[in-house]
Amino acid sequence: MEATAVLHKTDPDDHITVDDLTMAYGDFLIQRDLNFTIRRGDIFIIMGGSGCGKSTLLRHLIGLKAPARGRVLFDGISYWESPPAEQKRIKQGFGMSFQSGALWSSLTLAENIALPLGEYTDLTPADIAEVVSLKLSLVGLAGFEEFYPSEISGGMQKRAALARAMALDPEILFFDEPSAGLDPISSRRLDDLILELRDSLGTTIVVVTHELASIFNIGNNSVFLDPETRTMITSGDPKTLRDESPDPGVRRFLNRGEI
Amino acid sequence: MPGQLNLQFPSPDNLHVILAGSWLLTEGPPSLGDIAQQLQSRSDICRISFDSKAVTQWDSGLLTFLARVYQLAGKHKIDIDPGGLPDGARRMMSLATAVPPREGTGKRGEKPSIIEHIGLKSLSMWRAAPEMLHFLGEVTLSFGRLFRGTAQFRRSDLMLIIEDVGPHALPIVSLISFLVGLIVAYMAAVQLAQFGAQIYIANLVSLGMTREMGALMTGIIMAGRTGAAFAAQLGTMQVNEEIDAFRTLGVNPIDFLVLPRMLALVLMMPLLVLYSGIVGITAGMFVSVTTFDISTFEYYQQTVRSMEWSHIWVGVIKGTVYGMLVAFAGCLRGMQCGRSAQAVGEATTSAVVTSILLIVIAASLLTILFQQLGI
């Protein structure tokens, strides 16, 4: 491995580039030959039938799992070919909201959100407390600072997890099934929040979801993974794919099987 | 350039806040500065407006600052005109204020006084006793159903648990029993050598290992190894709502989960205790033969002469009781577990502590009992 990060030529607007990525657990192939680009400020949807490797792809993007082959580039820097210090720097720009929240159960909501702030900023505890309150109020949980994750409902845990993911104003926010388990109104509110984060702060957002309403509401770019052929079928704006994709499987998926 | 602010008064009732520079979280949210002071001193202000044309960069730093201003304005009942803020910041602020803070959660800064704390602890300990009895009752009923043949559990589960608590525990039981046998033999030898009576090492080791130490050591190993595992398994199932899923299906979780665990330990403990005794006696023989010049045959003869069936039975009965207590404590704490990773840890710790406590109490009671009965 070289000591410095390898810079590859990409468009300055290309935030994340997935280059010839193959994912596997040992000999078990999940997906192969993935190629797509997520541009700055995109709301990018990873979709596909159950068990096709959407969450695995997300784990590759956030640096939890190394690819079997291929590269993941952030601003032209290949994550897995970079030295650990560089990887850490790239990771600091990430916020991740896990499928079931993954809030630390021994910490209160305030402490959960304060932890990344305490680790990576020089803010005083009083300032951190205010930032925490702001983040909680952004997800509609003002006043819940002192609650433990086990004391609030599943939907609230999800929103608190989003508040934690947003703690450091990340450049890229990753969501694994953000609206699973939320009521339609909360789910809509979350969509609005995601759009707002993109519009206001210019955050790039990557979402794994099957929720069609959500996909069309927020997504402006996407990739469709197929469990049978174990590769991507297509990528692009989900609304265009719904109406014009040459692949009947994609059209059927995006029309709830009604074509 | 870090964030700067300037205050102006276009009209006496209007505070105009001019923001400039970059307002980033990493630079720390700037203090409210004069705003608080102005609002305090000039009671005729009834509107705050903003000008953010000179803001170059912003993130949550600006939002945190605005949240402070909003809060202050709310306190003084002053209107906020967000028109002059950057578009995104205005929308984020309206999002942040969309849901009013939850009042009356009773969670803020109430630390109970020390007396209150002691009271609460005592009450919770007082309540724990009936809970334990309740669980004991449920387990007893479950054993009743087992003998009537109506208890629902899978035989294959029982076999797996038996394999885990019995054969898989052999290496650690061997090691500990061997070392305990060794220690007892050495301790005895030091004393007995004064009288030239080393041959009685055999008596002490065989009596000690079969009657007391075998059962006690095996019980404590089981508490750490199996009791903790039971509590962690059942506790995690509680976290995942798996135990609720059994209840919903009409399957009694006590029958399905607790009964096979209790049975497995009750069946395996006597065997482990016997095994532990044999290993301990072997260790005694090893010491005697290698260090104290007693022949293997002599040691064997002396052991057989000193052994009575009652020693073996007492050890086995004690071991079985310890096994029941370990399984009981492990399952009890697992079933009582709360719904978080933290709670699983507490349940596991508590299972081991409870098991050892119960073992020691039972050991004392049984020793007195057997003494009184003259066994």
Is A22 part of any domain? yes
- Of the pLDDT bands very low, low, confident and very high (cuts 50, 70, 90), residue B63 is confident
DSSP line for chain A: --SSPPB----TTEEEEEEEEEEEETTEEEEEEEEEEEETT-EEEEEESTTSSHHHHHHHHTTSS--SEEEEEETTEEGGGS-HHHHHHHHHTEEEEBTTB---TTS-HHHHHHHHHHHH----HHHHHHHHHHHHHHTT-TT-TT--GGGS-HHHHHHHHHHHHTTT--SEEEEESTTTT--HHHHHHHHHHHHHHHHHH--EEEEE---HHHHHHH-SEEEEEETTTTEEEEES-HHHHHHH-S-HHHHHHHTTT--
Q: If you average pLDDT over every residue of chain A, what do you get?
A: 85
- pLDDT given at position B329: 95
Alpha carbon of B25: minimum distance to chain A alpha carbons (Å): 8
Cβ contact (<8 Å) for A199 and B97? no
Residue A185 or B302, more confident: B302
Contacts of A1 (CB under 8 A, 6+ apart): A81, A83
CA distances from residue A201 to A190, A195, B86, B95 in whole angstroms, order as listed: 16, 10, 11, 14
Is there a domain that residue A223 lies in? yes
Residues recorded for chain B: 375
The answer to which of A81-85, A97-101, B2-6 has the lowest mean pLDDT is: B2-6
- Cβ-defined contact of B91 to A149 (cutoff 8 Å): no
Is 90 exceeded by the pLDDT of residue A178? Answer: no
Q: Who has greater pLDDT, B80 or B169?
A: B169
Contact state of A140 with B98 under an 8 Å Cβ cutoff:
yes
Local structure of B13: helix, strand or coil: coil
Give the per-residue pLDDT at A4. 56
How does residue B1 score in pLDDT terms, banded at 50, 70 and 90? low
Question: Is pLDDT above 60 for A3?
Answer: no
Q: Is residue A125 part of a domain?
A: no
The residues on A that touch B, with CB distances below 8 Å, are 105-106, 121-124, 127, 130-131, 133-135, 137-138, 140-150, 166, 168-169, 192-193, 196, 199-201
Q: What pLDDT is recorded for position B300?
A: 92
Please state at what angle helix B309-335 crosses helix B259-291, rounded to 10 degrees.
140
Yes or no: say if B66 and B93 are a contact pair by the CB < 8 Å rule: yes
Q: How far is C-alpha A173 from the chain's CA centre?
A: 5
How far apart CA B156 and CA B368 sit, in angstroms, is 39
State residue A2's pLDDT score: 44
Report if residue A89 sits inside a domain. yes
What kind and span of H or E run contains B54?
strand B47-58
Pair of tokens at residue A160: 């608190």
- Identity of the residue in A147, A169, A196 whose CB atom sits nearest the CB atom of B107: A147
Cα of first residue to Cα of last residue in chain B, in angstroms, is 89
DSSP state of B2: B
pLDDT for the residue A1: 41
What number of C-beta contacts closer than 8 Å exist between A and B? 88
pLDDT of residue B135: 93
Question: With 0-12 CB in 10 A as exposed, 13-18 as middle and 19+ as buried, what is A126?
Answer: exposed
Name the more confident of B38 and B90: B90
Chain A contact for B338, CB < 8 A?
A: yes
Instruction: Determine the structural domain holding residue A72 and report its residue range.
Output: 11-93+204-244
Contact B58, B94 (CB under 8 A): no
Give pLDDT, residue A259: 65
pLDDT in tens, B296-312: 999 999 999 998 899 99
Would you call B2 an interface residue with chain A, using a CB distance cutoff of 8 Å? Answer: no
pLDDT at position B104 over 70 = no
Question: Rounded to a whole number, what is the distance in Å from the CA of B56 to chain A's nearest CA?
Answer: 13
Other C-beta atoms lying within 10 Å of the C-beta of residue B149: 6
User: Binning pLDDT at 50, 70 and 90, where does residue A6 land?
Assistant: low
* Model pLDDT, residue B342: 86
In a domain, A145, yes or no: no
Going along chain B from its start, the domains and CATH numbers come out as 4-96 (3.30.750.24), 142-373 (no CATH)
Q: How far is A117 from chain B (nearest CA, A)?
A: 10
Region A122-126 average pLDDT:
85
Q: Going by DSSP bridges, is the β-strand pair A204-208/A43-48 parallel, antiparallel, or unpaired?
A: parallel
Residue B30 scores a pLDDT above 50: yes
For chain B, what is the mean pLDDT? 88
Structural domains counted in chain A: 1
The CATH number given to whatever domain includes residue A29 is 3.40.50.300
- Measuring CA to CA, how many Å separate B187 from each of B190, B198, B281? 6, 11, 14
| CB contact set of B324 (below 8 Å; sequence gap of 6+) | B262, B265, B266
Q: Closest Cα of chain A to B320: distance in Å?
A: 37
Query: Of the candidates B229, B227, B211, which has an alpha carbon nearest to the alpha carbon of residue B319?
Result: B211
B216: pLDDT strictly greater than 90: yes
Q: Output the pLDDT for position B87.
A: 82
Per DSSP, the three-state class of B106 is: coil
Whether B103 contacts chain A with CB within 8 A: yes
**Interface list for B 8-37 with A (CB within 8 A):** 25-26, 28-29
A149, A150, A152, A154 alpha-carbon torsion, rounded to 10° = 90
Q: Find, in chain B, the residue whose alpha carbon is nearest to that of A192.
A: B95
pLDDT of B112 > 90? The answer is no
Reported as a single tens digit per residue, the pLDDT across A198-247 is 888 888 999 998 888 888 888 889 998 888 888 888 888 888 888 888 88
User: Any idea what the Cα angle at residue A53 is, between residues A52 and A57, rounded to 5°?
Assistant: 145
pLDDT tens column, B305-349? 998 899 999 999 999 999 999 999 999 999 999 888 888 999 999
> Locate tokens 């525990």: which residue?
B169
pLDDT score at A150:
83
Global confidence as pTM: 0.73
pLDDT at residue B206 in the model? 92
Residue A135 lies in a domain: no
Q: What is the mean pLDDT of residues B73-98?
A: 82
Contact (CB<8Å) A169/B59: yes
Which residues does chain B have within 8 Å of residue A196's beta carbon, measured at their own beta carbons? 88, 91-92, 95
Whether B87 and chain A come into contact, CB under 8 Å, resolves to: yes
| Contacting residues of B for A138, CB less than 8 Å apart | 92, 95-96
ipTM for the complex shown: 0.75
3-state secondary structure of B44: coil
Alpha-carbon span A195 to A209, nearest angstrom: 15
Q: What is the pLDDT of residues B116-161, one digit of tens each?
A: 989 988 988 888 888 899 999 999 999 999 999 888 888 898 999 9
Is the pLDDT confidence value at B57 over 90? Answer: no
Contact A242, A208 (CB under 8 A): no
Mean pLDDT over B71-96 rounds to: 83
Smallest Cα–Cα separation from B323: which of B221, B229, B219?
A: B219
Distances (CA, A) of A6 to A20, A63, A70, B138, B183: 17, 17, 14, 65, 63
Chain B residues lying within 8 Å of A147, measured CB to CB: 105, 107
